[in-house]
């Protein structure tokens, strides 16, 4: 699903214009980003929890350069799906 399709679907469900819906969605994502920038955890019920953690400096092998490289520490975004989301997808049948 593309962003445009997502906006259209939400707009139809909420009886809003696509411009209003796009503004609403963008505001929601900006709020999540601000929370993550402030190193806060952010939980969306039935979806999951977003947070950040620091990945420490470590060695990694680069096949391109054919040698080990020292990668600096960095902050990364984490996501943990909610239990209800996990349970729902466990019960879905896999298409063959």
- Per-residue pLDDT of 4-48, as tens digits, reads 999 999 999 999 999 999 999 999 999 989 999 999 998 989 999
Q: Tell me how many helices (H) and strands (E) the chain has.
A: 3, 5
Supply the range of the domain harboring residue 42: 3-91
Phi first, then psi, for residue 25 (nearest 5°) are: -65, -45
The CATH number assigned to the domain holding 50 equals 4.10.520.10
The pLDDT assigned to 30 comes to 94
pLDDT digits (tens, 9 = 90+) for 49-92: 999 999 999 999 999 999 999 999 999 999 999 998 888 888 87
> What distance in Å separates the CA atoms of residue 35 and residue 53, rounded to the nearest whole number?
13
Task: Tell me, yes or no, whether 60 lies in a domain.
Answer: yes
Question: Is residue 52 domain-resident?
Answer: yes
- How many domains is the chain built from? 1
Give the confidence band of 96 by pLDDT, cuts at 50, 70, 90. Answer: low
* Residue 96 maps to a domain: no
């Amino acid at each position: 699903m593309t962003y445009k399709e997502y906006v259209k679907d939400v707009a139809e469900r909420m009886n809003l214009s696509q411009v209003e819906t796009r503004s609403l969605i963008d505001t929601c994502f900006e709020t999540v980003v601000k929370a993550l920038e402030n190193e806060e955890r952010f939980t969306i019920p039935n979806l999951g929890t977003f947070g950040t953690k620091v990945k420490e400096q470590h060695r990694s092998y680069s096949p391109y350069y054919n040698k080990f490289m020292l990668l600096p520490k960095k902050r990364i975004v984490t996501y943990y799906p909610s239990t209800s989301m996990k349970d729902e997808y466990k019960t879905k049948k896999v298409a063959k």
